[in-house]
Structure 1
Amino acid sequence: MILRRFTAADADALAALHGDAAVMRHIDDGRPVPADVVVRETLPAILREYAELPAGFGVFAADAPGFVGWFALKPATSVGLDPSDVELGYRLHPSAWGRGLATEGARLLVRRAFAELGVPRVAATTMAANVASRRVLEKAGLRHVDTFFADWPNPVPGAEHGDVVYALSKEEWLGQAVR
């Protein structure tokens, strides 16, 4: 798998990913994002971040081969995360699920965060009910550090179980056998 910067040519692929109900089921309001919103807002924001964030941070298209989704390493902004952390995130097409690609991409960005970018701690959040994402985070070396209950305006099924935070410090990463 190769992680690369998005380009304007990725608009249709990104819109298809964010428009997939299965992909979006555990994200935000659980609804697919309309293609025009992805093209008009989401992709331009991703492209802008390449200039605004330090080198090595941002949202990166994943090709394995062909576009299968994206992985992100950015300053933490998600509900439940410490703003001093760096946030790991990802979205993959259902056709890429179960192939180890989420774990591969997550490990790659964790390694980049600690070995190249000098990040002190990487964190991620997901719904407690999202067992597959929790397992990916564990395989990437992160550990469950918190469960919280946010008052979501439009809670999706499973929200009643809360959200979880996973994190890993550089010191913990250095002590792990698998990197």
Structure 2
Amino acid sequence: MTPPLPPSPWPASARLRLREFAAHDAQDIVDMHHDPRVRALLVDDHPLHEPRAAQGFIAGMQAFYRRHEGTGIWCAERAVPPDPESVAEARAAHAAGEIDDALLARVQAPTWRFIGWFSLVHLMDAPGELEIGARLLPEAWGGALALDGGEWLLARAFAGLGRARVFGHCDPANRSAAHCLRVLGFAGAGLAPYSGHEAARFQLERAHWAGWHALPRRERLRRVRGMG
């Protein structure tokens, strides 16, 4: 049996958290898929720019969470720091005894904004295997959020679920996604059919993950750049 996750949200890092999709997320999904940059290099594009399709996706995923506990496609949110002036005013009011600890904590807490999703699901052509994936808004490209989420997914797959290997896929032209997978420790495994298209396949073994993720991220980035 797959161990269930505790109630969401789950912190992947101080700047990223994941949670189960809810009905109120439909418009965010629609808006994301209206951006042609998001859909340009997808290997499993679906009409999620249409409200009915987005609502159906969420309903299906909510059922999936309960049928396949511990795996799924999860809503990703990034932390937005509070306004510095508001924090300064709140701290001054707290020092003067005008507000209590709880109110100060609320003012200092970040808000959370939708940036896409991360997934840990079974391979269509090999249901006994898992793959990780992500679909993010352009504002989250090229930064650390994809690595934060990927590391959380791999910890879930290897440490939480005891998997021997994990796969990843991307469009063969998607150099950014391939780079991210390599920084996470994946090695190229050629091309493979994927949802009616051809995708670049990557594979990561648990033994390599254990040693690779013991390295600081900066060192992993340096080594991948050195590979050319």
| TM value normalised by structure 1 | 0.83
Structure 1 residue 151: Cα displacement: 9.9
Structure 1 residue 29: Cα displacement: 6.6
* Structure 1 gap ranges (5+): 156-161
Q: Does 1:104 align with 2:141?
A: no
Q: Would you say the 8 A contact 2:31–2:49 is kept in 1?
A: no
Identical positions, percent: 29
Q: Does 1:147 align with 2:191?
A: yes
Structure 1 residue 49: Cα displacement: 0.9
Amino acid at match of 1:59: I
CA gap 1:141/1:41 in 2 versus in 1, 3 angstroms:
same
1:159 alignment partner in structure 2:
none
CA RMSD in angstroms comes to: 2.3
| CA distance, structure 1, for counterparts of residue 46 and residue 22 of structure 2 | 25
CA gap 1:147/1:40 in 2 versus in 1, 3 angstroms:
same
1:58 alignment partner in structure 2:
72
CA gap 1:35/1:148 in 2 versus in 1, 3 angstroms:
same
For these two proteins, the number of residue pairs brought into alignment is 167
| CA distance, structure 1, for counterparts of residue 44 and residue 22 of structure 2 | 27
Between 1:89-98 and 1:40-49, the stretch displaced more is 40-49
* Structure 2 gap ranges (5+): 1-15, 80-112, 217-228
Q: What's the CA shift string for 1:108-141, capped at 9, x where partnerless?
A: 1011111111122110111111000001111111
List, as ranges, runs of 4+ consecutive aligned residues in structure 1 with deviation greater than 4 Å.
29-32, 149-152
Q: What's the CA shift string for 1:55-113, capped at 9, x where partnerless?
A: x2111111112111100001112xxx643210111100011112221111111101111
Q: What's the CA shift string for 1:5-34, capped at 9, x where partnerless?
A: 111111111221223211111114767633
| TM value normalised by structure 2 | 0.66
Q: Mark the structure with the bigger radius of gyration.
A: 2
1:170 alignment partner in structure 2:
206
1:158 alignment partner in structure 2:
none
Q: Would you say the 8 A contact 2:187–2:203 is kept in 1?
A: yes
Structure 1 residue 150: Cα displacement: 7.1
